[in-house]
Amino acid sequence: MSKFIIQVNGPAYGTSSSINALCFTQAALAAGHQVICVFFYQDGVYNSTDLNLPAAAENNVISDWKQLAQAHQVPLVNCVSAALRRGIISEQDAHENGLSHWNVGKSFIMGGLGELITGIESADRLISF
């Protein structure tokens, strides 16, 4: 079986990047493959906000990512630089910068490109969406 790193570059809504990445990740796990982590980069960091409220008839992609992470113990890693530039703030970053609010869900962790590179070294494939 293969080991994958999934990189999500598109937001939860407005493009098909996130839903395509989610479907691929679910299929890979169902087929017995290992997903080392899902790395959210560029506008992909918008997948981590707890302040996204899709319409009732829409699929809640962010909730689906959280459920996948919990069910399969797959780390969801936000690129911290990309996130901070876009106003996607973790609780720790808020405290460190004197901010009273944050919007990153607890299912997501902040990391850097170093974590992506380290993951790539142990993966068989990097799949980008």
Host H or E run for residue 15: none
Q: Which spans in the chain are helix H?
A: 17-30, 61-72, 80-85, 91-96, 113-122
Which residues 6+ apart lie within 8 Å of 105 measured at CB? Answer: 48, 49, 50, 62, 66
In the three-class reduction of DSSP (H, G, I as helix; E, B as strand; rest coil), residue 121 is classed as helix
Which of the residues 61, 62, 79, 110 is marked catalytic? 79
Q: Is 23 a catalytic residue?
A: no
Which residues 6+ apart lie within 8 Å of 95 measured at CB? Answer: none
Catalytic residue annotation: 79
